[in-house]
Structures are given as C-alpha cells and as structure tokens.
Amino acid sequence: MIIKDKKIVLGVTGAISAYKALELARLLIKEEAGVWPVMTRSAKEFITPLSLSTLARSPVFSDLFELTEGSRISHIELAQKADLLIVAPATANLIGKLASGIADDLLTTVISAATAPVLIAPSMNSEMWANKIVQGNVTRLKAHGYNFVGPAEGKLACGYEGKGRLAAVEDILEAAEEALRAKDLKGEKVLVSAGPTREAIDPVRFVSNSSSGRMGYAIAKAARRRGAEVVLVSGPSYLPKPSNITFVPVVSAEEMHDACIRYYPQSTLVIMAAAVADYRPTKSYPTKVKKDAKVLSIEMERTADVLKYMGKKKKEGQFLVGFALETENLEENAKKKLSEKNLDLVVGNTPLGLDSLTNQVTIIDREGSVEVLPPLGKDDIAERILDIVVKQKS
Ligand code: CTP
C-alpha cells in the first residue's frame, strides 16, 4: 500500500461519527503510516483525546497556541511535513471555513498552510448536506483540488434517512491511497476507447465480439486518478460509467471512428483498447431477415481503421498506444502493428483476456524493447501501461 511510511494528519471535527475516526487511526497505523491527530474543540465533546492518541500512537494536537517555538512540532511543520491530510469526519462548519479561507484554529490553520493533498470525508444531517451553500462550498473546494469521499447514504444518527453518513472507513482508506498516488498525468488529455462494436445485420441482429470493455475502462479510471482529463469512447458495455470523465457511448465502428476523430486533435495521449470490428455488413436490412433461404450469405466490407488514421495524422506531442489481439506470433504481429500504425507503444494480448477480469500482456515500444508481464488484474495492467507511458513521454 502507498500509505506505508507516509505522514498523515488526521483531522477530527465535532460530529457524532467522530468515533469512526478511532477505527480509521487504527487502520492507518496497521498499514504502517505515521498519524498526527488534530482535534477541534467540538471533536473532544464526542471522543476523548486519550482514545485517539492511543490508537494513533501520537499525542493529539489541538491548540494552535501550544504549538509555538520550543514545542516539538509547529503548526507549519505539521502542514509542511505531512504527505496527506485527512479530515474525517468533516462538518459543514469545517467545510465552510476552508472554502472561505478562514483559519481560526489549529486544524484550519494546518490545512490552509499545507501543500500536500487534502481528503475530506463529510458527515452531517442530510438536509445540511443538501444545503445549497454547503454544496457551493464543496464545489469550490473540489475546484481547488480538494479530494472528497462520501458522504454515504443511509440511516443518520439524528433519525433522518439520506445522504450524510461518514463514508465507510475502508472507502476513506482507499480514497487516501488515491489521493496519494502521483498525479503524473496532470495536464494530459487522454482519449481511451473501450469495448466491442456492433455492426447491424437487421434491426435485431448484429456482428460483434466478446470484449467486455474492462481493459479500456480500467485505463480510463487509472488515467483520471493520475490527474489526466479523460474522454472514454465506449462501445456497448455493461460496466458502470466511470465518474469524472467525458463518456461517449457508441455502437458501430463508424460511430467509434467519428467520436475518436472528434476528440483526437486535442488529445495528448490515445489508448485504443477497443475491439473495433474490421468488417461490417455491406447493407443493413431495414426489417427482420426471415428464415426463407437455406443458405444466407452476408456480404461484408472493411471498416475504417481508426488507429491507423490517427497514426498517419500524429502530431508532435501526441502519444499513441494500440492493442494487438493475436492468436499466433504475438510479438512479431504486435511489432508489425506498431510500425504500420505509427504507434509509440503496443500492448499485445491473446483472446484469453477477452471478457475476463485478468489478462496477460506483452508491452513493446518503438525501440523494440519487450516487456512480458505476468497474468494480472486489469486495474494493475492499466497502471503498468501508464507507468511506461509516463516514462516514455518525459
Ligand atoms: N483498431 C482500430 N480500428 C479498427 C480496428 C482496430 O482503431 N477498425 C485498433 C484497435 O483498437 C487496436 C489496434 O487497432 O488498438 C489493433 O487491433 P487488432 O484487432 O489487434 O488488429 P487489426 O489492426 O484489426 O488487425 P488484424 O485484425 O488483422 O489482426
């Protein structure tokens, strides 16, 4: 876990869910992070500093004026030495103060002076969360790069039911990992294609393949986590639409072509993970084909090769990654695709990866260096591909 050996300021504010911060502190210590707990005055009405300091294995900081010269650590040091700041639970009051630039206690002062990522886990009554001013504050903080996790939906301590519960501690931990991950694709505009295409025979039948879209979706999400602006052009897929990206659903190879070409000029990185149909029926029947003839022949014609077109039009500053699906001579065929389509990187794989949670890929670059990865989950493969892209692009 990335969290290991990181210094984390754990801010706790006054909400009934403050007791869950104790569990969060315990889990952070279990993952071998260093925890500096900071409590607001009202947080102490809900849990005791003794409990928190015991689980966090550190004294609790809470008084701004105690941390002056001569004390072990100053508020500026807390802010500057932290790798991540988490506020869990975060009240509407804390969110409002941060959004307005108010620093009137230790926690708000530390957060204002910090350069590390900040993760906020709100917890409040559902009406309070829905309040337009609170929502405006959240939008403002998000625009300034603050990370949010939750709130979750469910029964609230105040008797209400709705959105306002502190996110599950495991979700906060995962969001912390995400916030810590290097934003090494910041500034990049990434275009990813995913899934199969469908070429209509008649209104109820089509020619397609068994791609699930998982690889492309994993790449799109990983690129977004690493700070890129992402456009995902997806053929028909049952996967949930990833958040915080531009999602462009398409059906046929022609639609995929048009959508990709539309976003291509402004893209700095393109990863074509889609299994685009190479052929489509020369005509699509307007009504259902009846089973009259003994033999039915469907004439097929070539579709446009989107990636090849992009390779031809590639400009300085654009990096092209293609996939190569092969049943034989994987390395040789993948290398051929790399040069014929003018790619910067090609990811070779076999049909075993189709509609599967895992895959085994071989990554080849322009210099001919070949990296054979072991079988891995598609999220891990996405990260490995992006690691190589980042190295090669810089
Ligand atoms: N591709 C594309 N447009 C097509 C077909 C493929 O952009 N009409 C892209 C795929 O998204 C992939 C790469 O080209 O990134 C290679 O696709 P693949 O199916 O492995 O190979 P093809 O180029 O179609 O060649 P062949 O089917 O002969 O192996």
> Within this chain, do residues 135 and 224 fall inside the same structural domain, yes or no?
no
Position 70 pLDDT exceeds 70: no
Which positions ≥6 away from 359 have C-beta within 8 Å?
215, 349, 352, 353, 375, 376, 378, 381
> Within this chain, do residues 163 and 202 fall inside the same structural domain, yes or no?
no
The mean predicted confidence, pLDDT, of the chain is 93
Q: Is 291 helix (H, G, I), strand (E, B) or coil?
A: coil
pLDDT band at 223 (very low <50, low <70, confident <90, very high): very high
Distance 378 CA to ligand 1 centre (A): 19
> Within this chain, do residues 324 and 265 fall inside the same structural domain, yes or no?
yes
pLDDT band at 73 (very low <50, low <70, confident <90, very high): low
Which positions ≥6 away from 379 have C-beta within 8 Å?
218, 221, 222
Q: 99-135 b/e with 16+ CB inside 10 Å = b?
A: beeebebbbbbbbeebebbbbbbbbbbbebbeeeebe
> Within this chain, do residues 66 and 135 fall inside the same structural domain, yes or no?
yes
> Within this chain, do residues 65 and 156 fall inside the same structural domain, yes or no?
yes
Token pair belonging to 156: 């609230």
Residue 141 lies in a domain: yes
Q: What is the DSSP letter of 17?
A: G
Q: Structural domain tally of the chain?
A: 2
The arithmetic mean of pLDDT across residues 84-95, rounded, is: 98
pLDDT above 70 covers what percent of the chain? 98
- C-alpha 83 chain-centroid distance: 20
> Within this chain, do residues 131 and 228 fall inside the same structural domain, yes or no?
no
> Within this chain, do residues 216 and 243 fall inside the same structural domain, yes or no?
yes
Least confident stretch, 74-78, 253-257, 289-293: 74-78
> Within this chain, do residues 231 and 289 fall inside the same structural domain, yes or no?
yes
CA dist 318 and 308 (Å) reads 14
Q: Which protein residue's CA is at the shortest distance from atom 6 of ligand 1?
A: 276
> Within this chain, do residues 165 and 198 fall inside the same structural domain, yes or no?
no
Q: Which of the residues are catalytic?
A: 158
What is the domain extent for residue 75?
7-180
Residue 1 lies in a domain: no
Distance 193 CA to ligand 1 centre (A): 12
| Torsion angle in degrees (nearest 10) through CA of 290, 238, 224, 112 | 140
Most distant CA pair in the chain: distance in Å?
Answer: 93
The pLDDT tens digits for 156-176 are 777 778 899 999 999 999 899
Residue-level pLDDT at 72: 59
Q: For residue 278, which of 299, 298, 303 has the smallest C-alpha distance?
A: 303
The pLDDT tens digits for 338-391 are 999 999 999 999 998 888 899 999 999 999 999 999 999 999 999 999 999 999
Residue-level pLDDT at 293: 84
CB of 114 sitting under 6 A from ligand 1: no
Residue 320 lies in a domain: yes
Instruction: Return the residue matching tokens 């909400």.
Output: 15
> Within this chain, do residues 131 and 233 fall inside the same structural domain, yes or no?
no
Mutate to test the pocket of ligand 1, among 303, 305, 341 (most ligand atoms within 8 A of CB): 305
Token pair belonging to 6: 């990181």
Q: For residue 74, which of 86, 64, 83 has the smallest C-alpha distance?
A: 64
Residue 165 lies in a domain: yes
Token pair belonging to 225: 């986590």
> Within this chain, do residues 71 and 127 fall inside the same structural domain, yes or no?
yes
Quote the pTM value: 0.71
